[in-house]
Structure 1
Amino acid sequence: MDELYRGRLSLQEIWRLGCADEPLSDGDREHFVGLARSRFFTFRLGMEHARSGNDAGKRASLIAGFVTELASGPGLERAWRDSEFFRDPGAEDVEEALTERRDGAGDHARVH
């Protein structure tokens, strides 16, 4: 019965479970990866826009928000690392901010 129910999860529930790195059916896992990719693409577009406007403050804000999402969602972080977006320009800044967050250096991303 659980497997039957899992095939009927809402997108919100798929997102919640996927971000928490909870088990999902194959179909729901595919949906989660698609949702995660959409989020990563949105981050990419924001970073490109901030970079084109040479807006370091906007970049720092985008990174800080994204890092908060990744740090609070182990499944989302895993999807990020498994995606091609992980190799985007700016990904190094995300990784540095994640490391700082884990090391207790604060809640804000630094942009160099």
Structure 2
Amino acid sequence: VPGSDVLHTTAVVPSRQYRRIAQAVPYMIEENLAVDVEDCFFALGDRNAQGDIEVAVVGFDIMQSWFDEIEQPGLNVTALITEHELVNAEADSAIVLDRGQAHIDLAGNGSV
């Protein structure tokens, strides 16, 4: 999916219980959002090397448009991955230029 449609960020959540993490994350990163948390879908990832929770955020309206496109041809989709997550820089940072957009992997510090 287009990386420009998804905010990738991290949240500092001390709890280890998934339910509490899922409840806290939207409000921990609320200041980074241009829309209300109630209008967003939050995908929680693993903890990074610093112990922060990796988070991907997308608006429900954008997510619904992706689902509508997937349903039309009857595709069986198991995961949605943003373009810049496909850039892999394990040791160093990497930049991929694609049709006027830059996809960047900051070697362990996330993708943009």
The TM-score normalised by the length of structure 1 is 0.29
> Is the strand fraction higher in 1 or 2?
2
Q: TM-score, normalised by structure 2?
A: 0.29
Q: Higher helix proportion, which one? A: 1
